[in-house]
Amino acid sequence: MNQNSNRLTFGVLATGAGVVLMMQSLVAPALPTIQHSLHTSQSTAVWVMTANLLSASIFTPILGRIGDLFGKKRTLVAVLLVLTAGLLLAAVAPDIHTLIVARVVQGIGGGILPLSFGIIRDVFPEDRVSSSISNLSAVIAASGGLGIVLAGPIVGALQYQWLFWLPAGVVALTALLTHRYIPESPNRASGRVDWASALLLAGWLVALLLPVSQASSWGWGSARVLGLLALAVVLLALWALVESRSASPVIDLRVMRLPAVWRTNTAALLFGAGMYGLWSFLPAFATTPSTAGYGFGASVTGAGLLMLPMLVAMFFSGLVSARLEPLLGAKVLLVIAAGLGTLGLAVLTAWHDQSWQASAAAGIFGLGTGLAWAAMPTLVVQSVPPAQTGAATGMNANIRTIGGAIGAAVMSSLVTGRLQPSGLPYGSGYTHGFALLTGACLAATLVALLVPARRVARQPTAAKRVPQSAGR
């Protein structure tokens, strides 16, 4: 591929992956509006987020594996078309149940992330892989923050349905450009999809994430939560047994046991808890009226603007990581990232009386997020065989999401555990929650220190990878 082709491929991949992450955060601030418009309860409206989370957790690693086997480009085109259909269905959904189904369909879009990383590894010149992954990660990270910022203005100026109409047009165009301009990856894994293993993977993920995401309403000690968590343990053990004996596993556990991979995944779990916890609850903190003894009484748009420094910082640090990674290595970047996340949350825990304090803390955290999102997939890609790239990066993204679900659920329990007579949470719940998220990011920093350092041998810039015909 020449340089112009590289840029076009990157632009198309960044657009598709960015929309997926934006959709995860774009809907959250609009949930009260959706609840009112569709005449449903708060507990039912929450399923608009929960259903998407569960669907994405299932399909992300499975679609990464399918791409490894049958071609990443053709799989990516199919995923983009399904995502477009899910967005259109959500835009015209007449009731909350149809919208929840549409969000399940949209969760299939999570497969875009590992497919995009795999395409970059397979078709870009060797000396451009790490920097391109870093740049793509910067766009992905910033898109998540962008969703929080844009939700208020879109709903205020138009209607909540435009949260789906606008991305649908972008994704449909991305599918067309992918089909037309992105080359098919030459690397293919051998074997087939082990559907029994895939079903077990889906089973334990649902059994884990469902009670975690609903624990604040069901109660951590309820029979449903404890029963599903016990089922998750059983299904996880059974899945691991089936995978270890499969001739064509969905997730090669030998690859997952590599020190660089499992330690990076552990850091992703912990950092994801801090990131999604902050994304979910800092806007809620900002919109709380000051009569509660805390909060800033901001509108949804105002809360989004408060998060703007985080968005800018994420994008900036993600782009800078492409220049820093060849000098420092992805491990050092991950350590710095988790350290900045810890610092940002510690500042927020100690000082959140003024909006500028919360905004500054979010900006510090954003610097860490941009670096982390670049370092994690780079570490995984550097450590696994090319034929395992899709499944391995998909599992890394999935584990980060699992951590996010756990972090948001625990934060929710702390915030809503005790309510004032007015029905609003006490400020101490937020303080304790932010402190817990600080501890999670500190643990991620310590784990990152244990990731084996590795430098990739770099080819001269002029050197180009010769396309292979294998697997075609």
pLDDT at 42: 65
Q: What is the pLDDT of residues 4-22, one digit of tens each?
A: 677 888 889 988 888 888 8
Range of the domain at 235: 194-249
Span 80-94, average pLDDT: 95
pLDDT at 4: 64
How many domains in the chain?
Answer: 2
Residue 85 pLDDT class (50, 70, 90 cuts): very high
Q: Looking at the structure, tell me whether residues 199 and 136 fall in a common domain.
A: no
Cβ atoms of 118 and 12 closer than 8 Å: no
Query: Does residue 324 surpass a pLDDT of 60?
Result: yes
Query: Does residue 356 surpass a pLDDT of 70?
Result: yes
Q: Looking at the structure, tell me whether residues 226 and 310 fall in a common domain.
A: no
Query: Does residue 99 surpass a pLDDT of 90?
Result: yes
Q: What is the pLDDT of residues 333-346, one digit of tens each?
A: 999 999 999 999 99
Residue 43 pLDDT class (50, 70, 90 cuts): low
pLDDT at 77: 94
Q: Looking at the structure, tell me whether residues 234 and 301 fall in a common domain.
A: no
Percent share of the chain, pLDDT over 70: 94
Q: What is the pLDDT of residues 262-274, one digit of tens each?
A: 899 999 999 988 9
Contacts of 12 (CB under 8 A, 6+ apart): 174, 177, 178, 181, 182
Q: Looking at the structure, tell me whether residues 433 and 288 fall in a common domain.
A: yes
Helix or strand or coil: residue 112? helix
Tokens 């719940």 locate to: 429
Q: What is the pLDDT of residues 123-136, one digit of tens each?
A: 888 878 777 887 88
Query: Does residue 465 surpass a pLDDT of 70?
Result: no
Tell me if 425 is assigned to some domain: yes
Say which CATH number the domain at 409 has: 1.20.1250.20
Span 131-153, average pLDDT: 78
Tell me if 458 is assigned to some domain: no
Which of 249, 264, 287 terminates a domain? The answer is 249
Q: Looking at the structure, tell me whether residues 122 and 139 fall in a common domain.
A: yes
Q: Looking at the structure, tell me whether residues 137 and 224 fall in a common domain.
A: no
Stated as kind and residue range, the H or E segment containing 158 is none
Cβ atoms of 176 and 84 closer than 8 Å: no
302 vs 295: CA distance, rounded Å? 12
Tell me if 155 is assigned to some domain: yes
Span 422-430, average pLDDT: 85
Tell me if 36 is assigned to some domain: yes
Task: Return the top range by mean pLDDT from 132-146, 293-307, 447-461.
Answer: 293-307
Cβ atoms of 67 and 184 closer than 8 Å: no
Span 285-314, average pLDDT: 85
- Using alpha carbons, select from 16, 33, 27 the residue that is nearest to residue 81: 16
Residue 457 pLDDT class (50, 70, 90 cuts): very low
Residue 82 to residues 100, 103, 115, 143, 205, Cα–Cα distance (Å):
15, 11, 15, 20, 22
16 vs 108: CA distance, rounded Å? 13
Q: Looking at the structure, tell me whether residues 100 and 244 fall in a common domain.
A: no
Q: Looking at the structure, tell me whether residues 221 and 332 fall in a common domain.
A: no
Q: What is the pLDDT of residues 249-262, one digit of tens each?
A: 777 778 788 888 88
Q: Looking at the structure, tell me whether residues 254 and 174 fall in a common domain.
A: yes
Amino acid at 177: L
Residue 298 to residues 144, 239, 345, Cα–Cα distance (Å):
20, 46, 21
Q: For 78, how many CA atoms within 13 A lie in the half-sphere containing its CB?
A: 14
Residue 3 pLDDT class (50, 70, 90 cuts): low
First to last CA, the chain: 17
Tell me if 148 is assigned to some domain: yes
Tell me if 224 is assigned to some domain: yes
Q: Looking at the structure, tell me whether residues 305 and 240 fall in a common domain.
A: no
Tell me if 456 is assigned to some domain: no
Q: Looking at the structure, tell me whether residues 319 and 390 fall in a common domain.
A: yes
Helix or strand or coil: residue 10? helix
Percent share of the chain, pLDDT over 90: 28
Span 398-427, average pLDDT: 81
Q: Looking at the structure, tell me whether residues 241 and 312 fall in a common domain.
A: no
Tell me if 233 is assigned to some domain: yes
Q: What is the pLDDT of residues 224-251, one digit of tens each?
A: 989 999 999 999 999 989 888 887 777 7
